[in-house]
Chain A
């Protein structure tokens, strides 16, 4: 049945999608620009019989998520960069203990307390894992409010499927803006966990143990190899991306999230004006990164231009994917700065006519 469109703020759309995905536990601590999500959960969770906790700190929030996830609940938290930094210890523990959870980072400008403007500068933190140990987190990069909804629901699915945290890497624009959105139907929610590994009454079954401690010689190496095998499977099966006008493009842009919205408009603008032919690869999963498709494109496209709202972070993943097969240039903004369509077209022209790759940063004069 076709669902009605509603006008929703990004932060609230994440909250509603999470509830429809069966999330019944939210713990968080306020921070701009994601506060509407915490507020929304404080209102909605009691309505669906779930638990909302405004925790005393970010550390408490992520450890409560650990507890709820261990008991089999679909659990989530959210924050912006500074708060996600504080949660990294807990995220590492969740990965080590193979507990599913979902969280959103509505990125603001950093480093430090930075500012509250939209940014993409937590890309390394998200895709490399900001905590300790050999682990990976599934990272989804939405670019519209609709995608915040779709990827939140997908995030919970993937987290459960792989028993691993999954996250959304958004930004202040996506969190704060309103856009028309179609909500998916709620999944049938059954309060009793079907997760056979989850904690609970052990009557009639053997004891379950959820832990990230593996002290006996060789056990951690064995466990981490099991995790690696899982991550390989994620890399094989879960890569998602969008291609836009790539086939006949002279320069292929690579951008995600809000930067990809502007990049897409630059592609359309340049083609309408009869200018340089641009195309766009938009990674939807940032980890696993769409390496293969970018590598394939690089075989017959000599020019790639990465556009991001950070100082060359995704740029490194594109360079690794291309592996010297094409010229990879960069257009970077930072600290809340946004690229414009005209700037992207201009930089693409310069990149194409240059013999070497170029890196373009904001001018600060």
Chain B
């Protein structure tokens, strides 16, 4: 049988299940329209002059203008430095949690990951409030006048704070799956602590470290909020420069070209991470948790690690505390009288925005969850021609920076029949297709753990594939589904990079609102909005946690497929 004949056979099998076939076609069409088409639009636009003729002028401009060219260089420098520092911090934190007996592990872990669920410029705002011209530390404590935090150091500090938790989560997973018995074995044959660490622990976690590095690099390149607040005009960066070209100079083609330039390192890192590194992880999964060995860490090393962790946690608390206090303070840096004025102002100008944000998130969250699980189900449990293509396009948006997607959407959906600019739909669709990759990945992981014969049994008793999904698979994967929902909701509430291109007078978002307040210097109001946002997100997480079916009995019975 040739590949062609096999494709034909797969189509034949698919037509047995017409609903499934319809769904596959629908998914292909929507992925094509909402993922591929916007990206192509960016690419096409970047090769056009402002009048619309084919031209290379945008790229020649990029290469000849020093200012534009330096934005690539700046983005890459910040990206690599952020990735290196974040991995260092993340590794130390992960090592502390998995290999030492620190007290309050759970609380430490929560503090480490707290920056992940907060709006992307919480840290940028805190940095301004602490180290800015009127900063509490720079001016207040040290008495420095007009200290300039903008530029490389500000963005770097803010990004490390934002992305070290991402590296930490990845590396914690890696360290947990490294069997500590290997370290015990090395010491057992005479290796000292340092030797064991350098010759066993480190080499075994190297692929994980590289992977975490690339993930942070991708996120840093894509980051929008921090550069917009902290980069300043003398330190241009790609993602924000593309935005400024479009909204400031109304030069769409040049913005598109910058987006394409930004896309190249992102996609390259993603390809390396996914297709090269992931196959090279030395995970030793045994199915049962192994007691972690604490013999590897000497007393002094342990003290050092604890001090380090405490410092990072202190920084997290300081940053959040600053925002919180700032929200209730009359004029930050000058007049610390407690006040509710900022909240009063925030509610008076921002009620509509809060409502809009909630509506967008509530529409996008379930859609993204269901779609993610459906695609995961199709990829793991069925076969149809183009399955690999579907998996690839559906996770592609993980690598594509949000600002590129945002530009793609305004280019792709500003003409009939898909005239979506200024509508609720464009925001919802953007969130759905941007955040399904995470849902898909976790769905795939969970589905691979469910004995396929449970689904076969449903089919065997007369259920078609979709009924099987609805009545058997979905209830079983409900917990993973709900945690996917939490993620989608948090992202929809806190995202900015793509959304900033798509908001309109009719539909505005809280994150954009915060950014506007920062831009006009009303740090107190921005802090108040941030507090409101964090409260909403936390409340929503609590509600979703309540919704998760609490039938532990059913879940305990999931038959983990024996390898």
Q: Do A and B come from one complex?
A: no
Binding site for B on A (CB under 8 A): none
